[in-house]
A = this chain, B = another copy of it.
Amino acid sequence: MSAETGAWCPVYSSIELFQEKWVLHIVRALLGGPHGFNELSRAVGGANTTTLSQRLEHLERLGIVDKTVESTMPPRTRYELTHAGRELEGIIAAIDSWARAHMRRCQEHGASGVAFGPEERVPHGEPGAWDDHGAQRERDA
């Protein structure tokens, strides 16, 4: 719509971007350093590879992530944040502090059957993936 009315709103567009599935997860994972493709898929909580490669392609086109293919055999790919990407840390940090303050409460009174209970899909967890996140997050705790 932005494009149509001529009044293009950067904030609206960013929100559209961040509400694409996995985008924020990808940024969060990449904030902890560069990752390979499969590694990223795991770090992000088990995103399937089809979606992941679409997202990465999109983020690369927008200049948020940078893809490097080392010309060894077999070629290794490395995804990392660009300057613009790294600046997203402010958003992740804001989410982080809000989550710590308010999300825990949601979980607690979730005992009454609401709040994330009914519709939270559980993708089949990789226990190891969480260690990654945990370690990365200590940074700003």
Contact = CB atoms under 8 A, between A and B. Distances in A.
B95 A93 contact: no
A62 B130 contact: no
Given A13-B99, A97-B90, A137-B11, A5 B115 contact: no
Contacts of A99: 10-11, 13-14
Interface residues of A, number: 68
A12 to B, nearest CB: 7
A9 B87 CA distance: 23
A1 B125 contact: yes
Contacts of A100: 10-11
5 contacts: A1-B45, A13-B103, A19-B19, A87-B102, A90-B97
